[in-house]
Amino acid sequence: MKRGLRIRWPAAHHRLLCLILLAGLLLMGLKTWLVLTLSGLAMGAMLFLMASGMTLAFGLLRVLNLAHGALISLGAFAGAAWWLAHAQALPHEAWRQWLALLPAMLIAMAVAGLVGALFERLVIRPVYGDYLKQMLVTVGGAIILVQLLQGIWGASPIAVPRPEVLRGSLIVPQAIPWLGGLALEKFRVLSAACGLVIYALVIHGLEHSGLGIVIRAGVEDREMVEALGLRMTPVFLAVFVLGAMLAGLGGMFWGFYQEMITAHMGDELLILVIVVIILGGLGSVRGCLYGALMVGLVNLYVGYLLPSLASVAVVGLMLAVLMWRPWGLVPVAEARTG
């Protein structure tokens, strides 16, 4: 291909995201738009955490894991359990509270990862390659996990108060023109930042590590990697556990976001998660991020402008994208994941 002057259109997922942002800006005031956009990004970041594991599991393992929602709940409960046990005793200095969030995150990831490992080994490995059995078995597994959660923590919702440092908002100083007085909720800033950092880490790992190349190659053609001489079983396990850990982390954030957890929260989120990964293109991590951001933004914009349509809007977005791009925004065949 000769290099010449050629105007390059931005990729489809960039165009659509810009379009959504712009439409929002035109339909509401700047300040409202900024607040809603931040909330949308925060929601998108959490959805990305929850959905990325499922899209990778589908892309590489060819497993549609309908128990992914249960892993989300599990992470939320594990993180919250540690947090509730220690929240009272926390000193009030801000940095100690920040520090206390870290073990909660690690515990949520560790528990979800551990159960994910058992789940892959006991439930999913026997049904590789058979979609129908996978659906039945993973739904069964999800029911067992959710019932276990209910058995331990009860069926009624549990309140999870946010840490003090994460309550309230950052206020933009009045001196700044147009934006003065704008209140940005701290927790949303944190979750948006956290989601983007993890996205960067995952993409960097996929692009530059040896395991990353194997995963990308395996998403494209698993048998071919085996023909080169690599047993994929340990890779599958690693990817599944990684996905479960991210789901657990996302679940914990979602618990703080809603300040409330139930054993069924994951099942309810699973619908949004499935919309996100189909929208982004099954198996594509980059598509997953863009899908999640769009779902978050559309959900909040429409919720503000036309509240009665909020729940339909996200599904409408998915249908529109699928009619335009049947393989999702970033189809795996051409996904360069980064």
Partner 1 sequence: MHQHVGRRAALPARGGRPGDRDLLAVHDLAVSLGEQVIIDGISLTFEQGSLTAIVGPNGAGKTTFFNLLSGQLQPDRGVIRLAGADITRMGMPERALAGFGRVFQINQLFAALTVLENVTLALTVREGRLASPWQRADQRHDVLTRAMACLEQVQLAGLAARPVRTLTHAARRKLEMALLLAQDPVVCLLDEPTAGMAVEEVPAMLDLVAQLHQSAGRVILLIEHKMDVIRSLAQRIIVLHQGRVLADDTPARIMASADVQAVYLGEPGA
- Footprint of partner 1 (CB under 8 A): 1, 205, 208-214, 216-217, 219-221, 223-232, 238, 332-337
Give whole-number Cα distances, 213 to 164, 208, 209, 239, 337, in Å: 42, 7, 7, 13, 11
How deeply is 138 buried, as exposed, middle or buried, from its count of CB atoms within 10 A (0-12, 13-18, 19+)? buried
Nearest distance in Å: CB 3, partner 1: 12
Q: Are 259 and 159 in contact (CB under 8 A)?
A: yes
Between 64 and 238, name the residue whose CB sits nearer to partner 1: 238
Q: Please say whether the beta carbons of 17 and 296 come within 8 A.
A: no
The smaller minimum CB distance to partner 1, of residues 255 and 281, is found at: 281
Q: How far is the CB of 336 from partner 1 (least distance, A)?
A: 6
**Within a 10 A sphere around the Cβ of 164, how many other Cβ atoms?**
12
Q: CB nearer to partner 1: give 205 or 303.
A: 205
Q: How far apart are CA 244 and CA 110, in angstroms?
A: 9
How are beta strands 183-185 and 260-261 bridged, if at all? unpaired
Q: Which is nearer to partner 1, 77 or 290 (CB)?
A: 290
Contact by Cβ (8 Å): 244, 236: no
For the chain, the maximum distance between any two Cα atoms, rounded to a whole number of angstroms, is 66
CB closer to partner 1, 94 vs 224: 224
User: How would you class 21 by CB atoms within 10 Å of its CB: exposed for 0-12, middle for 13-18, buried for 19 or more?
Assistant: middle
- In the complex, the smallest distance separating the C-beta of residue 84 from partner 1, rounded to whole angstroms, is 34
Q: How far is the CB of 113 from partner 1 (least distance, A)?
A: 17
Q: Taking the complex as a whole, how short is the minimal distance between the CB of residue 240 and partner 1, in angstroms?
A: 15
- Shortest distance, position 234 Cβ to partner 1, whole Å: 9
Q: Which is nearer to partner 1, 87 or 232 (CB)?
A: 232
Q: Which is nearer to partner 1, 164 or 221 (CB)?
A: 221
* Least CB distance to partner 1 at residue 335 (A): 6
Which residues 6+ apart lie within 8 Å of 54 measured at CB? 65, 68, 243, 247, 273, 274, 277
